[in-house]
Each structure stands twice: as structure tokens, then as C-alpha cells.
Chain A
Amino acid sequence: MNDQFIQLAYLVAAVLLIRGLSGLGSPKTAPRGNLTAAAGMLIAIVATLLMKGVVSYTVIIAGVVVGSTIGAVLALRIQMTAMPQMVALLNGFGGGASTLVASAELLNYMREGSEPTGIVPTAIVLGILIGGVTFTGSLIAFAKLQELLKGAPLVYAGQRFVNALLSVALVGAGVMMVMTPLDLNPFYVVLCLSLLLGVLLVIPIGGADMPVVISLLNSYSGLAACATGFVLGNSSLVISGSLVGASGIILTKIMCKAMNRSLANVLFGAFGAVDQATAAGGGSTDGRTAKAYTPEDAAVIFSNSRSCIVVPGYGMAVAQAQHAVRELADTLEEKGISVKFAIHPVAGRMPGHMNVLLAEADVPYDKLVPMDEINREFPETDVALVIGANDVVNPDARTDKGSPIYGMPILDVDRAQHVFVIKRSMNPGFAGVQNPLFFNDNTMMIFGDAKGTVLALVKSVRDLV
């Protein structure tokens, strides 16, 4: 097939991918956007199959059939709560594919005995390196999220030194590879060290920081594809790879901002490795005790209320309470109480995760309000109902300079008239810090499993209001 024709097809593909991504600007246009992007991908694939160099189709068909089947089964079976693991896994496969492609190209140069020139050797090194780190890093992130590995950061003495040494060795081997591209030894070193580095970089990062890590790995998987594009001189790879790279960078920034942490702090800070001393000392409880109430007590308050903001946290999803919460929201609305949901950017385990979990439970998306918008409304709200959230509603983040979460943007639930907190026990949250909200005069603690308690609340409200 004519080379120019293929280039034009790639151009069409790139336009469709960009149109598809911009479709994600609103929930109404998003499903179509996704299909548009998929069509773009299909065009890029078909155009590639028509290229002169592609002649043996057996291997290709076999690979596509195997991969598509696995991908489809994963996509249709996966629980929405497990979406972060799924994305981590997909990031890993993307990175792994880029490493393999860059390696295959290098081996092909060796077989032909022709030395790659210009930017190609550097691109090969970068493709293998970024792809390799993405591959193993994502597998570790997956294992942590799936709880195959402990979520707590794994730290040891001299960890940073080891990682720094490894990085220097990697750069050294990379430079050697660029200078002598047809030598196998530096290639092996770069490949192995990249894979090792991916593991070592992610193990010291705690479970709570996984939203940042998978966003960053998302970006890496794009950049790896980009590097591969330079290896092959293929514009579709360069364009698509940089779109994904940009997307991952933006999400990483949003996540870091929502946790008030720098990227360096997330990557190297081993947050949640716990400082038991601060954890125990934190929280201005002043000897006050939290007051426990029953769902019936809460229903009495609801009977005099007009508005409620629900603040769901990951604890709600763990207890599979989404549908019960939706039922509660419906019941309250039947009784003339307006209900909205306040979504903190790091609610859940990945960017936007809580929205998906609630959408799955049929909560209309126009009731899901982002933090910056909803915070204005708390002072005029009768009831803030916190379910399985802790650190994101901790007022110490606003006031206590000594708190590990000081400066993190929070949902101002304490400014509502009444605050109900449904929680299993007084155990501190992810950050390991006590929450003074629980001790406020306008706070009612309702202890119990999220699902059971919410269902009891539904019943009490029906009976009473």
C-alpha cells in the first residue's frame, strides 16, 4: 500500500482519537467519544496491516485473538470497585508491549547487521526503560491494590541510596547502549535494571497513595508508546503516546494537589509507614468523647431537615453499601429532603472512582458534586452524612499545623448544622491520624457496618418521617 496513503490514515486516526478524548468533556458526549477513539484505533491498526513490511499474518491474528479475548473477559467481568487494579494492569501491559516492541526492533537491527542511526538508538533505550519501569511498577501497584501484597510501604535502610545507585547504573548502561547499539550486553543490563527499578520504585509507596501512582504510570505508558514511535518513525504512536502522557500528567497533578503533597513526597516519602508517635498524639480531642447514637436518633433529626449532603468514602464501597445509600437518598427525597453527594478528588482508589461507584448504583450524575462547588453549601445544609470517609473530612487539615494531613483540601462537613458519621469503630483512617470532627458537639457517631447502618437508617426514616 502506498506510504502516503498510510500516513493519511494515521492522520485520520489521530484526529479521531483527539475528537474522542474531547468527547469525554461531558457525560452526554462521552460514550460516543469513546467509540470515536476506538474507531481511530481501528483505522491505525488496519493501515498498519496494509504496510509493505507486514506480510505474515498468522502470528498477528493469533496474538490479536488471544489478547482481545483476555481483554474482553477482563473488561466485562471486572467489579467497579476493582477498577484501579484493572487500570494498573492495563498500564502494565501497555508498558510491557512498548518494551517488547523496542527490544524486537533492536534485535532486528542486529540480525540485519545495520546500525540504527540518529535518534533511534536513544529512542530504543527510552522505550525499553520507560516501558520496563511501567510494566513491573504497574504489576506491583496491581498486587498492592488487589491485596496480594501488603499495602503498607515497604521500606528498608539505604533504600533511596540503592535506588539512586540503580538509576545511575541504568543511565550508564543506557549511554553504552546508545554508543554501541549492536552490542547485546548493555541491552540486557538496561532491560533487567528497568524491570528491577519499576519494582523498587513502587514498593515503598503506601496503598493510600496508589491514585497518584497509577496516574503517573498511566502517563509513563503513554510516554513509552511515544518513545517506540520514535524508534519506528511512526507518527500515530508519537501522537497517541503524547496524548496519554499528557492525560496522566494532569491527573497526577490533580491527585497530588488533592492530597496537598508534592510528587516527590508521594514517590519517596513512604507516607503511612507511620509515625506512631504523631499518630497517637495528633488530633485536638481535649479529653472530649465521641457520642454514639442510633439510626432512630438520626431519623428524628432528619424529620426536621430539608437538606442533606452525603459524603461517601472508600469505606462505603468496601462495605458494598452504594445501593443502600442510593435507597436512603431516594427515601429522603420522597420525604422532601434534598440530597446531594460531595465527592472529594481522592475519594476512592483512583481519580474519579467514587463517581463510577455511585453511578453504578444508579445515583444520577448531576447529584455528584465536586469538592470546590459543594464546600460553599455546607453552612446552609441541615445534615452532612459521612459514610466511610475519614481523612477527607478531618478539620485538623485546616487548622492544626502539626497534623500530617495539614493543608490537605477537605470537605467542610463540620460547618453543616448536624453531622452524622457512620463508622465501624473509632480506628483512625489511612493517614493514621485522629479526627476531631468525631468529638464536635454537632456530630453524631453512628457505629456499625456501613451497609447495615444505612439500611437501618432507611427503615427509621420511613417509619418516622
Chain B
Amino acid sequence: MLDDPVVALTILVLALFVGFEVIAKVPPLLHTPLMSGSNAISGITIVGALLAAGREEQTLSTALGFIAIVFASINVVGGFLVTNRMLGMFKKKKS
């Protein structure tokens, strides 16, 4: 897919800039949910884990992929759920 490293690097740098722009606007009030939410997003590694575990041949890579899927799903599910729980506390009441 991203065979050309220069293209990948371009995406990386642009995404970093977008990240800085977007995240600088998050108020200190929400920094903890930001952290747990971005944590969930770093669980995107699950995509790599799926590729490693889903190959036809079952090898040592499959085993590593399996553990990686477990880790990354804890990250994704735990991260989004706990963020949702926290944001619910900020949502309910407005004096």
C-alpha cells in the first residue's frame, strides 16, 4: 500500500501537524479524557495485529499476533469506554 516511504513520511508529517492543531484546542478541563481517548486511538495497532494473526499459516507470528490483538483490544475497548464514562460526568449537569 504505502510502498513509497516518501509518501508515508508525507502522511506522517501532515498528520502530526493536524494533531498539533486539533489537540492544542482541547481545554485543560478535558485533558484526562483526551489522554484516555487518544490512548484508545493508539490501539489502532490492532490493525497490524489482525494482519499478523490472520495469515493462513499458523506460526509463531500468529501467536504473537494473538497476544497483540488481546493487548490492543484492551487498549481500544478500555480506552473508548472509560472516556465515555468520564465524559458522561461532564455532560449531565450544567448549573
Q: List 26 A-B contacts (CB under 8 A).
A: A24-B33, A34-B80, A60-B50, A63-B53, A70-B73, A75-B78, A75-B79, A75-B85, A83-B36, A86-B36, A94-B39, A96-B67, A104-B52, A108-B61, A118-B5, A215-B35, A222-B42, A228-B48, A232-B48, A241-B42, A243-B18, A244-B41, A250-B23, A251-B35, A352-B34, A359-B89
CB pair B15–A119 under 8 Å, yes or no, is: no
Chain B binder among A43-51, A384-392, A395-403: A43-51
Decide yes or no whether A143 CB sits under 8 A from chain B.
no
Q: A24-B26, A240-B44, A366-B94 are in contact. Are A233 and B1 (CB under 8 A)?
A: yes
CB pair B39–A218 under 8 Å, yes or no, is: yes
CB pair A366–B95 under 8 Å, yes or no, is: yes
Instruction: Give B29-72 interface residues, CB cut-off 8 Å to A.
Output: 29-62, 64-72
| B interface with A by C-beta (< 8 Å) | 1-3, 5, 8, 11-12, 15-16, 18-20, 22-62, 64-95
CB pair B75–A93 under 8 Å, yes or no, is: yes
Residues of A within 8 A of B52 (CB): 100-101, 104-105, 108
Instruction: Give A124-144 interface residues, CB cut-off 8 Å to B.
Output: none
Instruction: Give A258's nearest chain B residue, CB to CB.
Output: B28
| A interface with B by C-beta (< 8 Å) | 3, 7, 14, 17-18, 20-22, 24-28, 30-31, 33-35, 37-38, 41, 44-45, 48-49, 51, 53-57, 59-60, 62-64, 66-68, 70-72, 74-76, 78, 80, 83, 86-87, 90-91, 93-94, 96-98, 100-101, 103-105, 107-108, 111, 118-119, 214-215, 218, 221-222, 224-226, 228-251, 254, 343, 345, 350-353, 355-356, 359-360, 362, 364-368, 370
Q: Which 4 A-B pairs have the closest CB atoms?
A: A67-B73, A246-B19, A352-B31, A63-B69
CB pair B55–A55 under 8 Å, yes or no, is: yes
